[in-house]
Structure 1
């Protein structure tokens, strides 16, 4: 009883919701299944029944006056195994219906289907009557059934509704797949599919001619080379009987095919990264294939005895087929050669590259955000723009910009855009990590954003730990006074060797408890705390031992230091319990008395509270936070900082689109853990698994 009452309500609304959103698609699928059941198409090919001549479309049907067949044929499937791919293609009808409504989906389906059937019949009829082309002579006698042309028309229309970058990827994959089908197989169905898609492409103009971006040019080159290799494999290993003629398995030279595939596999990643060497190797390969195909074609045309025609059944047919695509790709690669000017050491930004001294001067002169002092840490690179500097790290083919650009406030938006352009010219994936709202507004509108943390800001003017909300902070201060724990704000260089030894011992103890090494990038260590401009907050016991310490990074405004950002937090194991609360509270009072405006407790990753509608992002953040909590304690750190009642400023990861996230994740992993080994990752994973148990 309990199981039934729990699950029944959850299924019914889903089915009803699906029926409301895609009634046309569900209805068509139901009709296909009913027709297959009624006429036996679910268990035997419809071509083996007398029904085929009455319901199938093609040139013979039109010549016999059966003009109704384009409609009747749409409700049949050619064979039982064909129901699986046919029903899968109906998903595209459902996608378009859900996006633009049933009437629009119905129009695209039937107009695309009817146009494809009639146009294909006209083309093969003209080709057969105008020449002795064997392929055309075969196709003019063929009949076909199925709704796949209309479904692909709906898919093409759905692609037109996607964002620009995903639309381009979808169109490239679809057109490449259809082109391979037409050139290699060349059945009526393949021609109908291409005709339906080209109709939508011409009507919707969702790929209108325009100046493609560098990223799009490289993507086209990649897909083109992969398609070239795919056609070679099919022509070499699969028997075909298409427009290019008949080929038998292994009819050509396996060595030639293997070399082409190996070279394509070698250069395809390089083309994505804009590598000059990859473009040169690709153009050389395509040039050789084109010249070989041209030579074979000339030999065939010039042959007056007919002896050379026998070659067409062997190597020459495959080489000529590959040469056609090679020529098209070669022309394209030559036309976009400027997109492939990068190498592993290509500079990002204008010359000369800024140095750390210039970055420090820009930071102190124009100010920055709460993370800007991290620009001076080791491992960062600097991109000069026309009005400022962008700090970034180059990891795993990704240019990860740290926080917001430096320089005059009026130039920071243009600096962000210039950095994006420079990174793309270098073949890198650009992104901004822990950027603020101003940079989010500066990047292109089609860029995406994810919240990576909330910067915790405590406003210092008038700060006083009075009232009930500050009970826990006052408790730590009072306990420190009773136990004679003292506070001191200092600098690392000003402390004696004995204090240095204690600081390193406490830090090494903390690191030793982790399966992974200390994180970097936006998380410092004692190395960064030793900077003369960084301040150290110390808590000493009555015996003079260091109970814990903090490091504070300066936050510059245009008039000098306006605040401080918390970086390193370390405490002695088994020492004074509330030492962190004590140190932060005393630091806040010290900075307040010095006239500072703000104190940032920095941001804890993976702890942002998302709105209810962002359910997917919430689930992802929760899973990651749960997994990493025993290793780095992000969530507990966030709860600790909440004791100081900060206001929150959102920090974003800004990126082009979701296709970049895998590479960005790899780049960020290396930025945060540059020295981590495979063994350390394995031990961290084992620790997470033990926690799950």
Structure 2
């Protein structure tokens, strides 16, 4: 039983419950008989300030629960101090012995489980915390000074601006200042208001101190060079390998330097994508380094879109695995438009040909800067919404000199105007993996099929033998759920996904890929425990830009 109670998630639950108790106790009136006893011992302003303090501490404990669940040492330390302060606050605000005893027991409990909280502060959070601690009290003092200057009800005559400034500064921590008031009611009103300002600074500082900072750093030029050297040798192992060079990913190398793993920290989730890069024999060392870092900072590790070999490696390192969907792989050497099964694609290509649409495929390095700039402009104009989506299967850039081997497929109408494009990143020496798929909405229906067929026709010239197309989430559910004899659970799950497809195009992506009769390669989600899945799911949606913070909140957070 004690081993269970020592676990950070149980400590977080206990702290959350006692935080709620403290907050509710502060909001409810104290027993009159006890309050009279307190008033005989301490000045009348103290109970009011202590009540505000108890409410602030209760709020702090509630907010700390999430960080405590991650094993954060800083959260443990703040919770311990807050619980001890809560003991004093509950006694002073109305001799609330029951709540004070609970908080005292909580302090003892936290001391007993100290060894479970070793996670370090997130990188770079110290600098922002220092700014809050320096600027916050100054700003709160100024606001308190302005309030005391404007609202003069109940003030004794003769107070100077220096008195008001000192009273505001001392009042932030609940200490009576030099100002005199006409009654205890007015003095208590001022004390409560100033303590609320001080508590606000404390809460903001706590949130900043516990906020993840987005990982150690994006990969620097030296790390990028090492990563690309690994891709040159081992890039054919995983069709998603080249996406590891995204600018928003951090990288960790194995001790031997033979393998690496790229990831991004979103909230409290360290989210990797695809397989590790490099020698498969060195994958376990890279995975262990990543898991050790996640544990050190209290991050939740997860992997989005691992292949079957990668998923096995992550599973051997202690992660659970869930099949997420399938990746469509087309063999360019055997692809043909002939046959009854390809009738739909063949008709789409013929329709585009009759409409005067021509298709060409190029290495981006072979295009002029003017052509690259025009393609980039058109791609941005055709994007669905302002946000560039993608993380696990999107590069996030186009036409840069560092990506000379990428392939672009262009569709032009009879007048030579660009009406569609596909962009592929390298997959080893003989493959490409789809990055961008854009077209003019006013273009002929079937442009995408024409561009895919055009790429297959140009594959021998480009040295391409295999092509990775879009990823189909829960593809097997659609494929098996529509068959005769499918069970009730499978049919129900398919119905749910069909309903979700109205918003996220889950089924349409599957259908769009299936028409080319690809080989389906499963992709997996790897995670530590099922209780992490909601958090991991939100992080994945944020990474892929399906959940986006409002612009005003991003500016407030300094992004």
Which residue matches 1:258?
A: 55
The SS at the match of 1:285 is helix
The SS at the match of 2:442 is coil
**2 CA distance for matches of 1:331 and 1:584?**
63
Give how far 1:424 is off: 2.6
Residue 323 (1) aligns with residue 97 (2) = no
Which residue matches 1:166?
A: none
Q: 1:4-25 CA distances to partner (integer Å, 9 max, x unpaired)? A: xxxxxxxxxxxxxxxxxxxxxx
The SS at the match of 1:518 is coil
Is the CA contact (8 Å cut-off) linking 1:224 and 1:329 kept in structure 2? no
Residue 527 (1) aligns with residue 397 (2) = yes
Residue 510 (1) aligns with residue 367 (2) = no
**2 CA distance for matches of 1:566 and 1:602?**
7
Q: Which has the higher contact order (CA 8 A, sep 6+)?
A: 2
TM-score, with length taken from structure 2: 0.66
Which consecutive unaligned segments of at least 5 residues does structure 2 have? 39-46, 124-211, 481-486, 554-559
Alignment of 1:423-462 (within 5 A): 423-444=294-315, 447-462=319-334
Alignment of 1:266-305 (within 5 A): 266-286=63-83
Is the CA contact (8 Å cut-off) linking 2:245 and 2:395 kept in structure 1? no
Which residue matches 1:567?
A: 435
**1 CA distance for matches of 2:393 and 2:98?**
61
Which residue matches 1:639?
A: 511
Is the CA contact (8 Å cut-off) linking 2:242 and 2:427 kept in structure 1? yes
Residue 363 (1) aligns with residue 239 (2) = no
**1 CA distance for matches of 2:411 and 2:289?**
46
**2 CA distance for matches of 1:680 and 1:602?**
33
**1 CA distance for matches of 2:496 and 2:376?**
36
**2 CA distance for matches of 1:340 and 1:509?**
44
Q: 1:207-242 CA distances to partner (integer Å, 9 max, x unpaired)? A: 5859x9xxx7321331232344356568888999xx
Q: 1:96-119 CA distances to partner (integer Å, 9 max, x unpaired)? A: xxxxxxxxxxxxxxxxxxxxxxxx
**2 CA distance for matches of 1:570 and 1:529?**
15
Change in CA separation of 1:595 and 1:353 when aligned onto 2, cut-off 3 Å: closer
Which residue matches 1:372?
A: 241
Residue 422 (1) aligns with residue 293 (2) = yes
Aligned length: 436
Which residue matches 2:116?
A: 336
Give how far 1:443 is off: 3.3
Change in CA separation of 1:400 and 1:646 when aligned onto 2, cut-off 3 Å: same
Change in CA separation of 1:467 and 1:209 when aligned onto 2, cut-off 3 Å: same
Which consecutive unaligned segments of at least 5 residues does structure 1 have? 1-206, 241-246, 297-310, 682-693
**2 CA distance for matches of 1:346 and 1:567?**
24
Give how far 1:402 is off: 0.9
**1 CA distance for matches of 2:16 and 2:424?**
52
Change in CA separation of 1:448 and 1:615 when aligned onto 2, cut-off 3 Å: farther
Which residue matches 1:80?
A: none
Which residue matches 1:538?
A: 410
Give how far 1:586 is off: 2.2
Give how far 1:330 is off: 1.8
Residue 226 (1) aligns with residue 16 (2) = yes
**1 CA distance for matches of 2:396 and 2:2?**
56
Give how far 1:379 is off: 1.3
Alignment of 1:108-119 (within 5 A): none
Give how far 1:432 is off: 0.6
Give how far 1:250 is off: 10
Give how far 1:600 is off: 1.0
Give how far 1:549 is off: 1.8
Larger mean CA deviation between 523-532 and 257-266 belongs to 523-532
Match of 2:253 among 380, 384, 405: 384
Change in CA separation of 1:622 and 1:486 when aligned onto 2, cut-off 3 Å: closer
**2 CA distance for matches of 1:316 and 1:474?**
81
Alignment of 1:184-223 (within 5 A): 207=1, 209=3, 217-223=7-13
**2 CA distance for matches of 1:427 and 1:272?**
8
Is the CA contact (8 Å cut-off) linking 1:529 and 1:535 kept in structure 2? no
The SS at the match of 1:358 is helix
Is the CA contact (8 Å cut-off) linking 1:536 and 1:550 kept in structure 2? yes
Residue 585 (1) aligns with residue 456 (2) = no
Is the CA contact (8 Å cut-off) linking 1:552 and 1:565 kept in structure 2? yes
**1 CA distance for matches of 2:24 and 2:412?**
75
Change in CA separation of 1:393 and 1:233 when aligned onto 2, cut-off 3 Å: closer
The SS at the match of 2:388 is coil
The SS at the match of 1:399 is strand
The SS at the match of 1:644 is coil
Q: 1:518-570 CA distances to partner (integer Å, 9 max, x unpaired)? A: 313145478335432211112334433323221111101xxxx1311122122
